[in-house]
Amino acid sequence: MEIAIRYFTKSKKGNTFKLATAVSEASGVQAQTVDVDLSDNTDILFLVNAMYAANIDKDVKRFLERNAGKIKCLINVNSAATGRFTLKVVKKTCNKLSIPVSEKEYHTVGSWLALNKGRPNEDDINRLKDFVKEIIK
């Protein structure tokens, strides 16, 4: 089974990077930024992202456009300080590109300014690792 991990973040806090690292540790697959295209057809793509201005970033959309024909199933992983999930906007983009998106998603709150200090925390990371192991089993 071919598994890939791609992530995008603008944050200097590193919440999304922490999540991408946890997915990498649980799957044994290197996490790369959305600047790196998929080299092969991918059975499972873990897309680790965050909400920016009520949407996913244009760089995430461009990655999906460039790689649409290589993705058999996308698993959305995200964090947000406000609790807003990215699954709806990821699905909207993927539907236009005929990319299958799993209803299974991992979401956690992330810290931003004074909100949710210390999140994602160790419990959030451990739950994510368990989620990843369940998906790839």
pTM recorded for the entire structure: 0.91
* Gyration radius (Cα) of the chain, Å: 14
Higher per-residue pLDDT: 90 or 46: 46
Predicted confidence band at 9 (pLDDT cuts at 50, 70, 90)?
A: confident
How high is the pLDDT of residue 81? 65
pLDDT in tens, 47-75: 998 777 667 889 999 999 999 999 999 99
pLDDT in tens, 77-122: 988 766 567 788 889 999 999 999 999 999 887 666 776 687 789 9
Q: What is the CATH number of the domain that holds 44?
A: 3.40.50.360
Query: Distance between CA atoms of 42 and 86, rounded to whole angstroms?
Result: 21
Query: Into how many domains does the chain fold?
Result: 1
- Structural domain of residue 71, as residue ranges? 3-136
SS (H, E, C) the chain: CCEEEEECCCCCCCHHHHHHHHHHHHHCCCEEECCCCCCCCECEEEEEEECECCECCHHHHHHHHHHHHHECCEEEEEEECCCCCCHHHHHHHHHHHCCCEEEEEEEEECCECCECCCCCCHHHHHHHHHHHHHHHC
Query: Distance between CA atoms of 88 and 56, rounded to whole angstroms?
Result: 10
Contact present, 7 and 34 (Cβ < 8 Å):
yes
How high is the pLDDT of residue 108? 84
How high is the pLDDT of residue 57? 85
pLDDT in tens, 11-40: 755 889 999 999 999 999 999 999 999 999
Contact present, 129 and 22 (Cβ < 8 Å):
yes
